[in-house]
Structure 1
């Protein structure tokens, strides 16, 4: 009998993130799935974000008591139940109604942080009201800095823990496969309009009765009546600021005294600068392969950044995480934690809030199993000797020396 993934629609039967991905593909219209899935140009970096994990091989210990295991990890001195969190992803209202709210509730139930995207279709106030939530806010440093300052004030009023400023999108990446769905900017071509009609469940969930979802944290930045996901695109593109520099991080540091995390760096020298500018954490990221094609993966630059850092900042990374073993490899190489993007969205698209919770549960179970099979009882026992591949092991050992 030929092997195949589960072909049905019951997200609870998904054994792994890839099965949730296939369910999401079947449930979503092509244009919506392509927005989640696609990368820049030839998608070399998008693919490398996954294949890089294959080069990090593990060397487990045996005859160790792993009957009791803990996946708990501390971020900024506060405990989290898992060493990963839900990272910022925009336009989630195009996957399911109140998509950000579903993700936030799943994160709160799992005891992990949730990072709300600046381009979300749920307000930061609604996210902050979720019971048990540990919410962080992502921002872009748009040209209209008054808008940014007002958003920071909203975050202050809600007493949120951290701001995550994304810095790798000052120029918009070339996402060709996404563009091919449109006859002209944000007007679907005939093929995709017909495809939408073939997804009545999605139409009733997302478009009825209020139409295309609207941005809830960009109101004063957008022209009147242009706050929908469709209408705001040109206004947001005009707000991207290619003059963005470390001076702008200094400005943000002056007006925000909570935890400040810079997301989107990939070069070790930028980690040195982050330390100089009083940043509390960094997210190593190539924007999920959606910006510069040909960029290295975050995992590749992680060991050198960890060596430079020497524990002074929190180091997070994203890009290509689909298995619990992927997360373990990042922790072995010096990460404090991991941001999950597409993996959570596949669960959300496949099964709304419960589907997102199932995605988190899959990663939790895989990570717990990996930890035990490595011969470890806690994340603190993940040491470089558990890496077999010589170059990676040497890099990891430099961190500890």
Structure 2
């Protein structure tokens, strides 16, 4: 009988899907839904995964299987593999100090870690815990310029030299299944409260001793009596700048003198505007299928924008990476690197740093194996001629 492993020995976990199954069983349902769900009918969430299965890989014969060259320069820094842990918010719902665990897993493997504005761990606390981290910072545009300016000051002060501005979440997507877990905003329905009690490991891993964590980056701007989970959520809901536009991005480009990328790009015309503003890169992303349902899959959008970006700015992809072969397909279609979201979150929910590290190691091993099986000796050799379109 085929079934995933159900124990605790991470060496017996053989795929990101297996980590996801373990996370599903270990998390209360409302936390699993927050992690895994999407907007409305979840068309884009599904397409993000199916988009990779639309492509097959060509294999060349009689190529010796030496270890392939997987290193790649991304934004001026050579990475051992072209991936990093991307920004995700409120990871403390999965594991206490999840942001720190993720950063440690990435740093131990020479990879960057991107901290979200909505992280539970602050910029300062993260760098104190992981001093060697290659820290990127993701910014949600704030309605109060004093708050945004201070976030930028703090990011620079702790050594972050790469900023990602997220542009696809000015209003929140309609995540219906997530909302059905609550009787009213931020108050669990009774059945979900009972379900939480059935997960004592999660209660110890997340809730003990002080309950749900607040958002560490936002705490300095909250009244003392609102420096908690509910206060942080209410604050970021009020502060999100729903009037973000290209003029404001141009001002941010002038203000932030280091590397600046725009995250949430899906259309070739937006790549052209990013180039015109002098951005260093764009992240092709539909927010993991959690915003506009019906938006193109990340891989389909990548194929559409790659001709505009090639050689003019860095092109990264976010969304749907579950296999090393997915990374190969993204690189073949023009991506310089990929960002991981759910893949490493499944791992951190299961076993903190060790679980996130297992996800990174599995993807790296699969990447190497895929290249060997294809007869591809160097990432620079990848292109569209390595792909063929499968009938669906």
Structure 1 length normalisation: TM-score?
A: 0.94
Per the alignment, residue 397 of structure 1 pairs with none
The Cα offsets for residues 144-165 of structure 1, whole Å up to 9 and x where unpaired, read as 1211100111112122120111
Structure 1: give runs of 5+ residues left out of the alignment.
Answer: 392-401
- 1:143 aligns with 143
- For each residue in 1:320-351, what CA deviation from the matched residue of structure 2 results, as whole angstroms up to 9, or x when unmatched? 11000001000000000000000000010111
Which whole-Å deviations, capped at 9, do the CAs of 1:262-320 have from their partners, x for residues lacking one?
10111111000000111101101000000000110121121332211231111001111
Is the CA contact 2:222–2:231 (under 8 Å) kept in the aligned structure 1?
no
CA RMSD of aligned residues (A): 1.4
Contact 1:11-1:347 at 8 Å conserved across structures: no
Shift of 1:13: 1.4
1:2-401 maps to which residues of 2 (within 5 A)? 2-129=1-128, 130-389=130-389
Cα distance in 2 for residues equivalent to 1:306 and 1:376:
21
1:167-212 deviation per Cα after TM superposition (whole angstroms, max 9, x unaligned): 1011111100110111100001111111111111111121111221
The match for 1:395 is none
- Asked whether the 8 Å contact 1:9–1:23 carries over to 2, the reply is no
In the alignment, the residues of structure 2 paired with residue 310 and residue 360 of structure 1 have an alpha-carbon distance, to the nearest angstrom, of 27
SS in 2 for 1:231: helix
Deviates more, 1:145-154 or 1:381-390: 381-390
Tell me, which stretches of 5 or more residues in structure 2 are unaligned? none
Change (3 A) 1:131 1:240: closer
Tell me the SS of whatever aligns to 1:111: coil
CA offset digits 1:348-381 (Å, max 9, x no partner): 0111110100000000000010111111122112
* Separation in structure 2 between the aligned mates of residue 231 and residue 34 of structure 1, nearest angstrom: 22
Q: Distance in 2 between matches of 1:375 and 1:128?
A: 41
SS in 1 for 2:126: helix
Q: C-alpha distance in 1, partners of 2:37/2:212? A: 21
User: Matched residues in 2 for 1:30 and 1:68: separation?
Assistant: 42
Structure 1 CA distance for aligned equivalents of residues 181 and 303 of structure 2: 39
* Counterpart Cα distance in 2 of 1:377 and 1:322: 22
What secondary structure, in the 3-state scheme, does the structure 1 residue paired with 2:92 have?
helix
TM-fit CA distance, 1:390: 8.8
Deviates more, 1:48-57 or 1:378-387: 378-387
| Native 8 Å contact 1:98 1:122 kept in 2 | yes
The change in CA–CA distance for 1:264 and 1:227 in structure 2 (over 3 A counts) is farther
**Number of matched pairs:** 390
8 A contact 2:316–2:337 mirrored in 1: yes
Secondary structure at the aligned position of 2:171 is classed as: coil
